[in-house]
Amino acid sequence: MFGNNEQIVVYSKPVVVGFDSPLKGRKMKDIVKQCKSIEEYKNRVYRSFKNSSRRSKNKIYDYARANDWEWFVTVTFDPQKVDSFDYDVCTKKLSQWLKDARKRYCKDMKYLFVPELHKSGRYHFHGIMSNCEGLEFTDSGHVTENGEEKIYNIGKYKYGFTTATKVVDTQRVSMYIAKYVTKDLTSTIKGKRRYWQSKNCNTSENDFHYNEKSTHMDLHYDLINQEGFTMMTEKEYIDSKNNPQYVRYYEYQRVV
């Protein structure tokens, strides 16, 4: 549950939760020895990065949907000030800026930031924020491509260039920010932090059920008829080509 929103995720096959992978903690050389071919090894590595990317995306989406946001921002790094090719350097600067911003300007600031690797090889970050008026958002004089939203700059950011637009749809911006964590990015920053969220971010409430295929419709009608929700979106995708797992998302909003 995300505040006044409820999401039902239906899997075509059972999903194991609460257990560690049998590969967790094992050295790569030991895993390689079990592979009967280079192709099997490549497939294992691919699945590992894909699963890791999916877990990060789900966690980012959960944080994003469980909170109210005011701004969607992008922060970049001036090459004269920060080596934006070095992920560790960039993340250190981002972390320090967020820490200083809460301490000096906005003690109740909420944020959620994710990295993006540009085709040039440089890193920059996208984030959603709230309770951050002290960062001095100023009108840049530009608007988005559709001409509907003003673009702002952040006065209290000194490491490079910034853009910021006001959030008008929490669900949309939640899906948008989660998409930046790709398997290519995951493989590039293996073992390193992939998102930054403030400690005052709310988290979603999750319940897990093992049900027959038709049972999710009972939950659907309970939400619609008894709990006062209305369905907002329905989405389905295939999780794997070789061993298909069909995943269907239903999202509902409480009628106030």
Segments in the chain forming alpha helices (H): 28-34, 38-65, 87-104, 170-178, 183-188, 215-225
pLDDT in the model for residue 19: 47
What residue ranges of the chain have pLDDT lower than 70? 1-53, 183, 204-256
What is the spatial distance between Cα 153 and Cα 140, in angstroms, rounded to a whole number?
A: 6
pLDDT in the model for residue 219: 61
Identify which of 80, 79, 90 has the alpha carbon closest to the alpha carbon of residue 123.
90
pLDDT digits (tens, 9 = 90+) for 94-147: 999 999 999 999 999 999 999 999 999 999 999 999 999 999 999 999 999 888
pLDDT digits (tens, 9 = 90+) for 180-190: 877 677 778 88
What is the value of pTM for the model shown? Answer: 0.70
Helix (H) or strand (E) holding 204: none
DSSP string, 49-117: HHHHHHHHHHHHHHHHHTS---EEEEE---TTTS-TT-HHHHHHHHHHHHHHHHHHT-TT-EEEEEEEE
Identify which of 193, 159, 158, 177 has the alpha carbon closest to the alpha carbon of residue 52.
193
61 and 175 Cβ atoms separated by less than 8 Å: yes
pLDDT in the model for residue 203: 80
pLDDT in the model for residue 130: 96
- Tokens found for residue 99: 């820490």
